[in-house]
A and B are shown apart, each in its own frame.
Chain A
Amino acid sequence: MSNDTDWLVGAGLALSAIAATAMLQPRPRTSPSPAPARLPPRTGPHPRASVRAARRLNRAAGMLAASVLADSSVEHYRGSFKNKAMVTPLAVSALTLAMSAHGTADRRPWAHRLRDGSYLLAAATGLIGTGFHVYNVTKKVGGFSWQNLFYGAPLGAPMAILLSGLLGFCSERVRDTSRARRPHVFGLPAARTIAAVTAAGLLGTSGEAGLLHFRGAFHNPFMAVPVTLPPLGAALLFNAAARDPDDDATRAHPLTRAWMWLLAAMGFIGIGFHAYGVSRNMGGWRNWSQNILAGPPLPAPPSFTGLALAGLAALGLMREHPDA
């Protein structure tokens, strides 16, 4: 137990440090009343397009955070919050969700210090959470085995909050650079970077669904859907990210956009399937308090929706900014 407490303290310190650094970082340009005169001259397309993309990304990050909030609440409650650090993802995802809502409503073309800080915190939580989950799996008898991958702490789960943080952070960068000639993230073209991050996220999330659906022996043929559609979507997104930015003809990506809408819908329909899965446990929905814990996780599928929304935001930006 003392071992676990050490972990907890260490993690808590690390998180506060990261958050503090992010928030204290000087940000002159985000002062509440910037004089229009100080704006750099417009060289690229209208900044509104970037802000729109940024808000879409906030929404996507919020979607993921909501999924994490619900999922980790249920799963960590199931684990009786045995380790105190298990409340962290709840708090962080709730904060990320609130910040994302704020960002979605915010039309101003510059990053927000608090949002930035909370997104970094989310990303760090994801990384540290993954560490916790790896530790949980490997310390069990049998170590890195199918048994522990199936039933130990899910290795992929904390990645969702990491992705939420990354997307949110990208969103702030897009806003921040909306008046530049091209929106960018650390100097990389924003739209294509976000598309690639989202594609990687889709692959990871699909891998997680694959592992858990394999645990369920793919007993229902529809369980194959989240392991086939998202990887195709990821391939399309990677393809979009790799396209020649100057080729006007290929910037619209209608198929990729349609595929993202398909994945967004899949995430929502997945809740329905999982609800059906819950009903197939002893006592069905009448026994909801047990079966929500025993059955497939209701909040898991919408993480695909969150990623698909991020993909759409990236594609939208790509269409409007040839160079993004």
Chain B
Amino acid sequence: MSVEMSDDPQATPRAIEGRAPDVFRPGGWVPMRCHRDEDAVDFVIVGTGAGGGTLACKLAEYGFSVVALDAGPYFRPLEDFASDESEQTKLYWTDDRISDGANPLQLGSNNSGKAVGGSTVHFAMVSLRFRPEWFKSRTLLGYGADWPIDWREMWNYYTEVEQALKISGPITYPWGPKRPRYPYRAHPLNAAARVLAKGCEALGVSWTETPLATLSAPRGLAHPCVYRGFCVAGCSTNAKQSALVTWIPRALAAGAEIRDLAMVGRIEVDDDDLVSGVHYHRGGRWHFQRARNVVVAGYAIETPRLLLNSATDRHRDGLANSSGLVGKNLMTQSNQAVWGLMDDEIRSYKGPPSLAITEHWNYQDKGKDFFGGYAYMSQGPLPQLWANTLAQARGLWGARLVEEMTNYNHVAGLKIVGEMLPQERNRVTLADEVDQYGLRIPRVTYSWCDNDRRLIDHSLAFMTRALEAAGAKDIWTQDDDTCHLNGTARMGDDPRASVVDADCRSWDIPNLWICDGSVFPTVGGVNPSLTIQAIACRTADRIRAMARRGELTGQRATGTRTAAHATSASS
């Protein structure tokens, strides 16, 4: 009863005393199994986004005891989300960070979230599979690094995630190997999407409806999409199939505990070089949760930051860092756009922002002067974002900005998600400054390479032609935007050249795992969340298989370490 004192999810934790918010009912609650700090649980997971949320669900369903901590609040979208861009900045990770390099990243809204559900709470729902060759891009395409996973295995995990999120997509997908039918049908195209389609048809390349993680028909208590376009400010209808309304409720039902407003500051390592739990800040003080395994899933900046911040005398460079690669090979994705004005009203903000897509340049290798690929999609910026874009990218202000805003309803745009190459100089390190918890803040260093630039130039030239062909006038290019964060703890076959193995298990510490966008060796030209979730599903299956064979006891199957911690997994 004392829990009713404050219901500000950003001020007071909600998931306490045996219950967690019911995301489907205003003011509602669901029961939650709780663990005591001193009881070692099978898995502590740091972060509840695409990686952590998915893994928490799957591991709990496999019978492991799970506590998943998130630094962010536990929202009920139906009552906590406003149709107001400014209000919804509460979804972003805006803690202090230093951003530098030749092309410093703009951190916050377009790349990181802080909430139970992680960045998926305000992501744009585009749910794409990798091109199969990208899993072996070094061997097959001559750039980047190979993944230690076969694409055919990933194909099955993609299917699992698409089913779990009831992805709505086209009946037939024009590119890549056959995939099963999407569980829900594609959404109706808005006028902005039809501009993309017209451009593609004029230039003779395929296009299709974008597979999206938002409902085109009801699902349980979640409503179908209402096409109001607030997606990247948080979806207040629950149509968006974020981790918050999909994996997390399943995780709770399966017995996982979620702790909101719980910032993990350090992972504890014992004298046997095994992790034993995490120190986390919640309700104004530090706690220590004991665990047999720790999974880090804080996304590509917070994950390496936590590993680096957990350095000890025996692990001076941070945990899992014998390769020296923790924090390195950070990859964002190019997010350049071409904008123009159409004679007809477009009202591009009606509906999810990216209803139509072409992956032509992901699958076509001829005619490229660069490695990698890009997809481009139709756009639907909300007014405040659009005014910001005009101010920043075109330097408009005052009367000129106001005048340009009167064209808002006629704007159509095409925007890429482009592959950037992994470079060790693009990295996350620790700055000397500390944040509100007294933890050293991350320094994010980013510079494009020539290949990145060539890809961007190619895309801008192609999209300009496409937009012209669709009948747009006053075309201009926005050439500095980036989105998504990956890398910084890459997976691989070689302990000297990677941080984790194919199972997301760290090479150095067998009961420390990393399961989020950080493990990507390359990013490809598609948005990453479907792949992150597929990896998490695979990791859960691998963990279950290892537990059954007794290989989770702090020991690798082929390793020489002595067992120190037994896992009590029941499955």
Contact = CB atoms under 8 A, between A and B. Distances in A.
Given A141-B198, A219-B218, A277-B218, A146 B170 contact: yes
Contacts of B25: none
A142 to B, nearest CB: 6
A294 interface: yes
A219 B184 CA distance: 8
B185 A215 contact: yes
Contacts of B209: 147
A219 B217 contact: yes
A147 B226 contact: no
B224 A141 contact: no
Interface string B187-209: 01100001001100100000001
B186 interface: yes
A150 B185 contact: yes
Contacts of B237: 282
Nearest to A143: B201
Nearest to B184: A217
Interface residues on A, range: 10 to 19
A217 B170 contact: no
B226 A217 contact: no
Contacts of B218: 219-220, 277, 280-281
Contacts of A147: 170, 186, 188-189, 209
B496 interface: no
Contacts, number: 56
Contacts of B186: 146-147, 150
A282 B230 CA distance: 14
A214 interface: yes
A282 B219 CA distance: 12
A216 B217 contact: yes
Nearest to A216: B217
Nearest to B168: A217
Contacts of B170: 146-147
A98 B270 CA distance: 86
Contacts of B198: 141
Contacts of A294: 224, 226
B223 interface: yes
Interface of chain B, main secondary structure = loop
A216 B185 contact: yes
Interface string A123-145: 00000000000000000111000
Nearest to A276: B218
Interface residues of B, number: 24
B171 interface: yes
Interface string B152-181: 000000000000001010110000000000
Interface in A146-198: 146-147, 150-151
B201 A141 contact: yes
B216 to A, nearest CB: 7
A146 B216 CA distance: 14
Contacts of B188: 147, 150-151
Nearest to B186: A147
B31 interface: no
A310 B79 CA distance: 50
A293 B209 CA distance: 23
Nearest to B185: A215
A290 B223 CA distance: 14
B183 interface: yes
Contacts of A220: 218
A282 B226 contact: yes
A292 B188 CA distance: 18
B471 to A, nearest CB: 12
A217 B217 contact: yes
A281 B185 contact: no
Contacts of A215: 185, 216-217
A151 to B, nearest CB: 4
Instruction: Point out which of A140, A214, A282 has the most chain B C-beta atoms below 10 A from its C-beta.
Output: A282
20 contacts: A140-B194, A146-B170, A146-B185, A150-B185, A215-B185, A216-B216, A217-B185, A219-B184, A219-B218, A280-B218, A280-B223, A280-B224, A281-B223, A281-B224, A281-B226, A282-B223, A282-B226, A282-B237, A282-B239, A290-B226
Of all A-B residue pairs in the complex, the 10 with the closest CB atoms, nearest first, are A280-B218, A151-B188, A282-B223, A216-B217, A141-B197, A282-B237, A219-B217, A217-B184, A146-B171, A215-B185
Given A147-B209, A217-B217, A280-B224, 16 more contacts: A146-B170, A146-B171, A147-B170, A147-B186, A147-B189, A214-B185, A215-B216, A215-B217, A216-B216, A217-B166, A217-B168, A220-B218, A281-B224, A282-B223, A282-B237, A294-B224
